[in-house]
């Protein structure tokens, strides 16, 4: 739909008591905001997941010099509000302005987009590390022993036996984490980024149509949230195919005598 | 180090705890109501409860806070002026914050209590009815004392997440821990120091809560043989 058809549609809608026209008019901007929301979610998830794979290896190590820093990192990022983390990195870096300038990092930390991605990435990396740790420890020990007995070790053992099983265990918790992160990106609007919530807040301050715009934004979040959950349910279904009975087994033909009392 | 802002930060910490506890109380109330509705035989009650949990879990907390705090008064005003009344409604940020956080976590508490009610031994309730207890008496004497045992781990998690969510209320200017830290950070130009102090205080709340929750679980499981 181009701008003109949208405007024509908006002109035919009522403006009071509920301003339906403004919803149609602001939809293109809100969809732009949703794009940034999705971009932030995808970037943070991709880097965060990759980082957590490394972190969980360190976390499971027996060497305290390796697992203790990761434990502290996870503890800090899971135990404090995301908004505090965003402020700590975006505003807090200003306190070390000269030090950051000297090493040439100030241009990065001055940028709200970089700080938002950095915080979201660290946050999801911490949560994902914890999810993966639980999942890896849930892999039955016998399978690991069997793999070792066959001569697998190290990377091969992880790649072939532990990780595939752990990913399957982690999937329900990870789908929650993805939804959590997707919704948490709305906080970046507080540090001036124009994600869906940021766009909605700007539109509200311009048009004063408070609830019309916020509720439309809420509906957009709702649709994507349940879209993500549906996607994960589909993946879960695909990955558990070997646990289900093949189609047709277990289904018996209807009993022709059903409902008729059997004589005893 | 805190340049005289220590007492404001502590007052903020107190406010965070008060908001958190009030929101938790509301969430537990809504959770009991919601789980009762979800397990009820009435299709309408189940529908309302499902709508409630679906909407709340699908929309970001920040947006819900903005809708409640800015949206509700404007909605009331614009409908009133449409009907020819000129009124002005203002929302108190404390009430708005407690309501929103309570309503959001009420949806999660609904699932916690639903699981807990389903985990109860059905035979005990039948026995209670059989010895002549009414539904209310059986609920008070048999169901409620035991439901905590199954709900406590879930409610503990809920509290740990809820207390972090209260930081969002600083956006609507409620002077809780993060808001005071923000004010102090701006005034002293030491943002890292003050946000780091705030972060440590949230960690402290988490740590103390975990200890209390462990004790509470021991208490709720008193008289239960393990294994």
pLDDT at position A242 is 79
Verify whether the Cβ–Cβ distance B171 to A208 is below 8 Å. no
Q: What is the pTM of this model?
A: 0.88
Pick A210's closest partner by Cβ from B70, B171, B191. Answer: B70
Q: Which residue of B has its CA nearest to A212?
A: B71
Distance of CA A125 to the CA centre of its chain: 11
Tell me the C-alpha distance between A89 and A110, whole Å: 10
pLDDT at position B185 is 92
Tell me the C-alpha distance between A116 and A122, whole Å: 10
Distance of CA B50 to the CA centre of its chain: 18
Least confident of A144-153, A220-229, B77-86, B98-107: B77-86
CA Rg value for chain A: 25
Q: Which residue of A has its CA nearest to B57?
A: A222
* A88 or B173, greater pLDDT: A88
Verify whether the Cβ–Cβ distance A211 to B170 is below 8 Å. no
Interface residues from chain B to A (CB-CB < 8 Å): 54-55, 57-64, 66-67, 70-72, 74-75, 78-79, 82, 164-168, 170-171, 178, 181-182, 185, 189-193, 195-196, 198-199, 202-203, 206-207
- The stretch B192-220 carries a mean pLDDT of 93
Q: What phi and psi values does residue B90 have, to the nearest 5 degrees?
A: -125, 140
- CB within 8 Å of B187: residues ≥ 6 apart: B5
Verify whether the Cβ–Cβ distance A79 to B190 is below 8 Å. no
pLDDT surpassing 70 at residue B167: yes
* A249 or B34, greater pLDDT: B34
- Smallest CA–CA distance, residue A12 to chain B, in Å, is 19
- Smallest CA–CA distance, residue A142 to chain B, in Å, is 24
B82 pLDDT tier (thresholds 50, 70, 90): confident
Q: Which residues of A touch B185 (CB under 8 A)?
A: 87, 91
Size of interface A-B (CB pairs under 8 A): 123
- The stretch B24-37 carries a mean pLDDT of 95
Q: Which of A232, A103, A126 is nearest to A178 (CA)?
A: A232
pLDDT at position A257 is 62
pLDDT at position A6 is 79
Pick B185's closest partner by Cβ from A85, A91, A218. Answer: A91
B90 pLDDT tier (thresholds 50, 70, 90): confident
Q: Which residues of A146-176 are buried (b: 16+ CB within 10 A; e: fewer)?
A: ebeeeebeeeebbeebbbebbebbbbeebbe
Q: Which residue of A has its CA nearest to B55?
A: A222
- The stretch B186-212 carries a mean pLDDT of 94
Provide the Cα torsion B175, B179, B184, B187; round to 10°. Answer: -100
pLDDT surpassing 60 at residue B227: no
pLDDT surpassing 80 at residue B2: no
Q: Which of helix, strand or coil describes residue B43?
A: helix
pLDDT at position A254 is 64
Q: Which residues of A touch B82 (CB under 8 A)?
A: 16-17
Tell me the C-alpha distance between B187 and A52, whole Å: 37
pLDDT at position A256 is 63
pLDDT at position A241 is 79
Give B137-143 contacts, CB < 8 A, sequence gap 24+: B143/B117
pLDDT tens sequence for chain A (264 residues):
677 787 777 777 777 667 788 888 899 999 999 999 999 999 999 999 999 999 999 999 999 999 999 999 999 999 999 999 999 999 999 999 889 999 989 989 999 999 999 999 999 999 999 999 999 999 999 999 999 999 988 889 999 999 999 999 999 999 999 999 999 999 999 999 999 999 999 999 998 888 889 999 999 999 999 999 999 999 988 888 777 777 766 666 666 666 665 555
- CB within 8 Å of A222: residues ≥ 6 apart: B54, B55, B58, B59
Q: Which residues of B touch A204 (CB under 8 A)?
A: 70
């Amino acid at each position: 739909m181009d701008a003109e058809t949208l405007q024509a549609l908006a002109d035919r809608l009522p403006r009071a008591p509920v301003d339906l026209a403004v919803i149609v008019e602001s939809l293109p901007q809100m969809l732009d905001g949703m794009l940034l929301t999705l971009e932030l979610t995808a970037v943070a998830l991709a880097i965060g997941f990759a980082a957590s794979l490394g972190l969980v290896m360190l976390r499971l190590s027996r060497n305290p010099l390796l697992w203790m820093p990761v434990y502290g990192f996870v503890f800090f990022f899971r135990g404090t509000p995301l908004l505090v983390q965003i402020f700590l990195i975006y505003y807090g870096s200003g306190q070390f302005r000269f030090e950051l300038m000297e090493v040439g990092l100030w241009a990065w930390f001055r940028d709200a987009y970089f700080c938002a991605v950095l915080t979201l990435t660290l946050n999801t990396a911490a949560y994902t590390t914890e999810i993966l740790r639980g999942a890896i420890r849930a892999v039955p020990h016998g399978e690991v022993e069997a793999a070792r007995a066959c001569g697998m070790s190290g990377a091969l053992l992880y790649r072939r036996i532990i990780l595939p099983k752990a990913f399957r265990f982690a999937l329900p918790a990870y789908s929650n984490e993805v939804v959590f992160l997707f919704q948490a990106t709305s906080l970046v609007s507080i540090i001036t980024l124009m994600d869906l919530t940021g766009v909605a807040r700007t539109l509200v301050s311009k048009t004063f149509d408070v609830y019309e715009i916020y509720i439309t934004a809420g509906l957009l979040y709702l649709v994507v949230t349940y879209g993500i959950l549906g996607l994960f349910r589909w993946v879960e279904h695909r990955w558990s195919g070997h646990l289900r009975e093949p189609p047709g087994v277990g289904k018996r033909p209807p009993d022709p005598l059903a409902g008729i009392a059997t004589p005893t | 180090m805190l340049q005289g802002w220590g007492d404001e930060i502590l007052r903020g910490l107190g406010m965070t705890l008060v908001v958190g506890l009030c929101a938790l109380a509301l969430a537990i109330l809504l959770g009991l109501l919601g789980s009762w509705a979800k397990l009820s035989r009435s299709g309408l009650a189940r529908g309302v409860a499902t709508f409630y949990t679906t909407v709340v879990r699908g929309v970001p907390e920040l947006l819900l806070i903005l809708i409640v705090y800015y949206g509700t008064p404007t909605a009331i005003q614009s409908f009133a002026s449409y009907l020819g009344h000129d009124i002005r409604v203002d929302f108190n940020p404390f009430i708005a914050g407690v309501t929103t956080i309570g309503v959001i976590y009420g949806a999660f508490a609904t699932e916690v209590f639903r699981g807990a009610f389903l985990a109860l031994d059905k035979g005990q309730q039948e026995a209670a009815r059989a010895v002549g207890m009414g539904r209310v008496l059986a609920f008070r004497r048999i169901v409620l004392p035991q439901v905590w045992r199954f709900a406590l781990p879930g409610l503990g998690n809920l509290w740990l997440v809820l207390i972090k969510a209260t930081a969002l209320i600083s956006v609507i200017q409620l002077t809780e821990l993060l808001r005071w830290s923000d004010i102090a950070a701006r005034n002293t130009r030491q943002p890292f120091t003050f946000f780091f102090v705030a972060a440590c205080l949230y960690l402290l709340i988490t740590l103390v809560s975990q200890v209390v929750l462990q004790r509470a679980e021991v208490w709720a499981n008193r008289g239960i043989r393990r294994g």
